[in-house]
């Protein structure tokens, strides 16, 4: 019995490790479908700012950055503004980019909006979202297969260990992805004729907020330490020519004034 159990354990471990290597590459068509489905679900839960002038400005700035990316991927790029005062931005697979109203309002210049926007475009360009989903799916499948072959469900301690291990792996991958997106954002903004230091000013805002977070939360966050990213991005910017790069434009200040004239964001409970 012990020999049989040991054999099944070895087979289970081999299977669990082999599954990620066998995951097929996700096609662009499938990636777009995944992003579209996720965007539909998100827009049912999150308040999207319904203001054509603001959406058009963010879209035009995004498309300017796509030109800076040089031969951007052939996906249906879409840009949306989430009507919340939180400061954030995120990208879904297939070119669905979201920035929050709070980020636009917090940005003092056009370049401070362009930096985070370029960062999210880079995530799509490098297919980070699809890679992350594939890793999560393959890890879950590998663990499930291992326990099927073992003939039992994992105990509570084993579940905790699996969860902590998976979290650390994904956080590590995400730190690499974030650094790559930062480096690409510097390239995209510079190539688009926009001052890339807007991204570091945005990071400085995040760093001030991050000081209030706990050590464990900082360690397991899906984003790397903001201070480290700030130093790396500053070094990349210092290596780039800085002449004739645009920091701000009147159109951006008009958009900020327009935002100030709108009703405040609605929170999840429906109050203002």
Question: Is there a domain that residue 268 lies in?
Answer: no
Longest dimension (CA), the chain: 77
* 91 within 8 A of 75, measured Cβ to Cβ: no
For residue 269, tell me if it sits in a domain. Answer: no
- Decide which of 127 and 22 is more confident: 127
Structurally, how many domains does the chain consist of? 1
**Residue range 108-122: average pLDDT?**
95
pLDDT tens digit sequence for 193-228: 999 999 988 877 777 776 766 555 554 455 566 678
Cβ-contact 185, 200 below 8 angstroms: no
Task: Quote the strand ranges of 153-235, DSSP E.
Answer: none
Q: Rounded CA gap, 186 and 159, in Å?
A: 41
Residue 111 lies in a domain: yes
Q: Is residue 168 part of a domain?
A: yes
- Tell me the three state secondary structure of residue 246: strand
How does residue 85 score in pLDDT terms, banded at 50, 70 and 90?
confident
Q: CA nearest 178: which of 226, 134, 219?
A: 226
Does pLDDT of 262 surpass 90?
yes
Range of the domain at 154: 2-261
Residues 6+ apart with CB under 8 A from 235: none
Enter the pTM of the model. Answer: 0.76
Measured at the CA of 125, the angle between CA 73 and CA 71, to 5 degrees, comes to: 40
> How many residues are listed for the chain in this entry?
272
Cα distances (Å, whole numbers) of residue 51 to 47, 54, 58, 103, 238: 12, 6, 11, 16, 37
DSSP H or E run through 89: strand 89-92
The mean per-residue pLDDT over the stretch 139-167 comes to: 49
Q: What is the pLDDT of residue 225?
A: 61
Of the given ranges (5-14, 73-82, 112-121, 135-144), which has the lowest mean pLDDT?
A: 5-14
The answer to whether residues 71 and 121 touch, using CB atoms and an 8 Å cutoff, is no
Which range has the worst mean pLDDT, 3-7, 31-35, 181-185, 260-264? 3-7
């Amino acid at each position: 019995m012990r020999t049989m159990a040991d054999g099944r354990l070895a087979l289970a471990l081999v299977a669990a490790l082999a599954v990620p290597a066998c995951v097929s590459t996700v096609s662009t068509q499938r990636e777009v479908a995944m992003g579209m489905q996720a965007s539909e679900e998100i827009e049912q839960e999150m308040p999207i700012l319904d203001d054509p002038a603001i959406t058009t400005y963010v879209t035009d700035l995004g498309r300017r950055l796509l030109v800076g990316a040089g031969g951007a991927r052939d996906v249906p790029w879409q840009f949306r503004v989430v009507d919340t005062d939180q400061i954030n931005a995120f990208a879904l697979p297939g070119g669905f980019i979201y920035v929050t109203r709070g980020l636009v309002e917090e940005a003092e210049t056009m370049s401070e909006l362009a930096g985070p926007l370029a960062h999210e475009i880079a995530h799509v360009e490098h297919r980070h979202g699809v890679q992350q989903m594939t890793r999560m799916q393959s890890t879950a499948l590998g663990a499930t297969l291992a326990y099927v072959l073992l003939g039992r469900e994992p105990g509570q301690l084993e579940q905790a260990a699996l969860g902590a291990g998976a979290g650390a792996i994904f956080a590590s991958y995400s730190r690499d992805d974030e650094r790559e997106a930062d480096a690409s954002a510097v390239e995209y903004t510079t190539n688009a004729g926009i001052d890339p230091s807007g991204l570091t000013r945005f990071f400085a805002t995040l760093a001030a907020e991050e000081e209030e977070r706990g050590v464990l939360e900082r360690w397991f966050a899906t984003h790397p330490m903001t201070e480290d990213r700030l130093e790396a991005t500053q070094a990349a910017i210092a290596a780039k020519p800085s002449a004739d790069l645009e920091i701000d434009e009147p159109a951006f200040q008009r958009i900020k004034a327009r935002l100030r004239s709108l009703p405040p964001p609605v929170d999840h409970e429906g109050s203002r």
